[in-house]
Amino acid sequence: MKAHQGIRLLLVDDEPHILQFLELGLINEGFDIRTAPDGMSALEIAAEFKPHVAILDIMMPGMDGFDVCRYLRDEEPDIAVIMLTAKDEVDDRVKGLSIGADDYMVKPFSFEELLARIQARLRNRFPGLLGEVRCGPFRIDSRRKEIRFKDAVLELSPTEYELLQYMVINHGLVLSKPMILDKVWGYDFGGEENIVEVYIRSLREKLGDKEHRIIRTLRGAGYRVDLI
């Protein structure tokens, strides 16, 4: 059984070639997919299909992605919403997030990055929905709270597990120390940011990552996991 079997995704875009590209890729990952070419169709499908994740293009004729997001938030408050746009406008991002979107991606984007963001949103909205998630040499089993690296089970403390899981699921994305502290330690954590460095050092030792090729440090920005 594929890791994403039983997870429902709704794709909404008025560009047929984008819909087809994303649909084929996500079906191959095991997702249950429905597509819609416009906002009204999307709402009709969502009411029956009850998707876990909706991927919405912003620029559509008639009802745009913002309007669809508002309606979905009213009717399906648990759904994860990822907005797509061809414009890298700060105002659009702020508007999308303010009306309830969980994430925002600018076209063109890589399929691998979209998949990572879908998995991250599922983790946030539907804990435990994903069984074993495969990311390159990593296998994350959320039910057993276990991570395998190159088929070997890593001996991790609970905090190390949460940290490595968060970074692997978001592989390819730059994660700042404040982001990591918020997701792993909690928003009310009163300690120092240096605790992140201590745990990163421990994870690198357990991964045999002496050259920092797996967990990379981007000075002044944060950390990024690269799948090798």
User: 90 versus 165: which is more confidently predicted?
Assistant: 165
Output the average pLDDT for the chain.
Answer: 87
Tokens, residue 226 = 């690269």
pLDDT of 5: 66
The burial of 54, by beta-carbon neighbours within 10 Å (0-12 exposed, 13-18 middle, 19 or more buried), is given as: buried
CATH code, 8-126? 3.40.50.2300
DSSP secondary structure string for all residues of 156-176: --HHHHHHHHHHHHTTTS-B-
Is 190's pLDDT higher than 90? Answer: no
Backbone angles phi, psi at 6, to 5 degrees: 90, -5
Average pLDDT, integer, range 170-199: 83
The dihedral region occupied by 218, where left means phi > 0, alpha psi between -120 and 50, and beta the remainder, is beta
18-44 average pLDDT score: 92
Domain segments of the chain as ranges: 8-126, 132-225
Please check whether the domain covering 132-225 is classified as CATH 3.40.710.10. no
Banded model confidence at residue 193, pLDDT cuts 50, 70, 90: confident
Over the stretch 119-154, which tens digit does the pLDDT of each residue have? 888 877 876 666 677 788 998 887 788 999 998 999
**Burial (CB count within 10 angstroms: exposed 0-12, middle 13-18, buried 19+), residue 12:** buried
The reported pLDDT for the residue numbered 1 is 40
Find how far residue 152's CA is from the centre of its chain. 25
Q: What is the DSSP string of 104-139?
A: EEESS--HHHHHHHHHHHHHHHSTT---EEEETTEE
As beta bridge partners, residue 12 has 36, 56
Beta bridge partners of 32: 8
User: How does residue 214 score in pLDDT terms, banded at 50, 70 and 90?
Assistant: very high
3-state class (DSSP) for residue 188? coil
pLDDT category of residue 188 using cuts at 50, 70 and 90: low
Q: Which residues contact 54 (CB under 8 A, 6 or more apart)?
A: 9, 10, 12, 42, 46, 68, 69, 72, 79, 80, 81, 82
pLDDT digits (tens, 9 = 90+) for 60-117: 888 999 999 999 988 888 899 999 887 666 676 677 677 888 888 888 888 888 988 8
**14: DSSP letter:** S
